[in-house]
Amino acid sequence: MKQYITIIGGGLAGCEAAYQIAKKGIKVKLYEMKPKKFSPAHSNKNLAEIVCSNSLKTDAITNACGLLKAELRILDSLLIKCADKTKVPAGQALAVDREKFSELVTKEINENPLIDVINEEVGEKEHLKEIMKDGIVIIATGPLTSDPLAKEISDIINQDKLYFYDAAAPIVSKESINMDIAFWGDRYGKGDSSYINLPMNKEEYEDFYNELINAEIVTLHEFEKKEIFEGCMPIEVMAKRGIDTLRFGPLKPVGFIDPRTDKRPYAIIQLRQDNEEGTLFNIVGFQTNLKFREQKRVFSKIPGLEKAEFIKYGVMHRNTYINSSQLLDNTYKLKSNNNVYFAGQITGVEGYVESISSGLVAALNSIEQFKQTNHKIEFSEKTMIGALAKYISTPNNNLQPMNANFGILPQLEERIRDKKIKYEKLASIALNEINYTKNSIEGV
């Protein structure tokens, strides 16, 4: 066994993993192709570059991402410490000066004597299979993994290709769906009635249609456009082909009877279960480039979704990720190769803080493996860290990248209507579990 752990990718997940491993006195080789080569979306020579928004979302524990950051602070996350030190005014949100943030992370990594940063692209000169020989590897190459490395990853996971873009429909919480309007059922009564259906009359459909075709959309990078539109059609693009296009496509009402009228609806929208517990449902066929605020505004016009809680908005952008639900366990380890872990957005977690979380979990478990303790550090599904790990590792034929959200936590036995009180209780349980895990890790 090599006397070090290898990490491929110097983004948020990779840097967090490197820090956690070095903190335990283990040497790290960290491969990062910058500044010799940049992806189409990167331009900063430093590690842990933040490409999009500079916000790590709110710090309030009644927000899922705020709870996740609180859990990471308890576990001594380097990246969250650096974010706290470089924050800029943003109300309740933790927003950072992205240049200072990357500089600080880079300084911490470069000055650690146990971390050796190698600025080379894996797959061009040194190949992944060679690096994997007799050593533990964490692959944390992010949503824009280079083509040579993506090919090598495909080879080791025995899949022809990765998911090269993220074309995901919005996801809503089941409890926020108005079941006075919605009904369970399948087309022509076939199947096991596992879909929730939202019927629309002509006036409701035309109102929704007009709002949809006039809504604001996200501007894509040039390098994303060809891949995305070849692979999937955004709902708003489909709608612009004609007022009845959706009614002959994803909103086709044939085979349904609205229980309220005993007639076939003018159009129908279907929601499909998205997690094992049945607390989350995605809006079938609603891949979209609409801005998030527009999705909330327009999709809330759908009868039955007037008060919908959007757990995840629809996205369509370049996002290389593996089918983790088949390939990984809840420690982010590759089931088919005991020495390989994945971390970051390549696993299907989506977001800065979520990536940091995955890097920390992969690191803690690679440390245990390196020390040959025969011990796995599995976080409780009652924690946001554990719930994310469970989500991406649970068999799912329709895996979509997932942000932290309260919908993936086990639900409380008691029904609490006040969301703030409900989330405070869930957060209290999560933080108690995290402190227990921390004490277990430290042998307290």
Continuous H helices in 232-309:
235-239, 292-299
Dist. CA 29–CA 12, nearest whole Å? 16
3-state secondary structure of 281: strand
- The label of the residue with tokens 């924050």 reads 87
Asked whether 86 and 55 are in contact (CB, 8 A), the reply is no
Structure tokens at 96: 């950072």
Beta carbons of 289 and 313 less than 8 angstroms apart: no
Please confirm whether the linkage preceding 89 is cis (ω < 30° from 0). no
Rg of the chain over all Cα atoms, to the nearest angstrom: 23
In angstroms, the CA 436 to CA 137 distance is 28
Do 152 and 127 touch, CB atoms closer than 8 A? yes
What is the full DSSP assignment across 153-192?
Answer: HHHHTT-S--EEEEEE--EEEGGGS-TTT-EE--GGG-TT
Q: Which residues pair with 196 in a beta bridge?
A: 184, 271
At a CB cut-off of 8 Å and minimum separation 6, what does 307 contact? 176, 178, 300
| Sequential pLDDT tens for the chain (444 residues) | 799 999 999 999 999 999 999 999 999 999 998 888 766 555 678 999 887 667 898 999 999 999 999 999 999 999 999 999 998 877 788 988 888 999 999 999 999 999 999 998 887 778 888 999 989 999 998 777 777 888 889 889 987 667 656 567 899 999 999 999 999 998 888 777 788 999 999 999 999 999 999 999 887 655 445 555 444 678 998 999 999 999 999 999 999 999 999 999 999 999 988 777 888 898 988 988 899 999 999 999 999 999 999 988 887 766 778 999 999 999 999 999 989 999 999 998 988 999 999 999 999 999 999 999 999 999 999 999 999 999 999 998 878 788 999 999 998 989 898 989 999 999 999 999 999 999 988 875
In this structure, are strands 136-139 and 340-342 parallel, antiparallel, or unpaired? parallel
Any idea of the CA torsion for 297, 303, 309, 312, to the nearest 10 degrees?
-70
Contact in structure between 385 and 68 (CB atoms under 8 Å): yes
Task: Give which of 144, 123, 151 is closest to 49, Cα–Cα.
Answer: 144
DSSP 390-414: HHHHS--TT---B---GGGSPPPSS
pLDDT of residue 231: 45
The 3-state DSSP class for residue 271 equals: strand
For residues 216 and 70, what is the distance between their CA atoms, to the nearest angstrom?
A: 34
Helix (H) or strand (E) holding 197: strand 196-200
3-state secondary structure of 88: strand
Domains defined for the chain, CATH in brackets: 4-161+322-435 (3.50.50.60), 171-316 (2.40.30)
Please report the pLDDT score of residue 159 as a whole number. 77
> What kind and span of H or E run contains 326?
helix 324-327
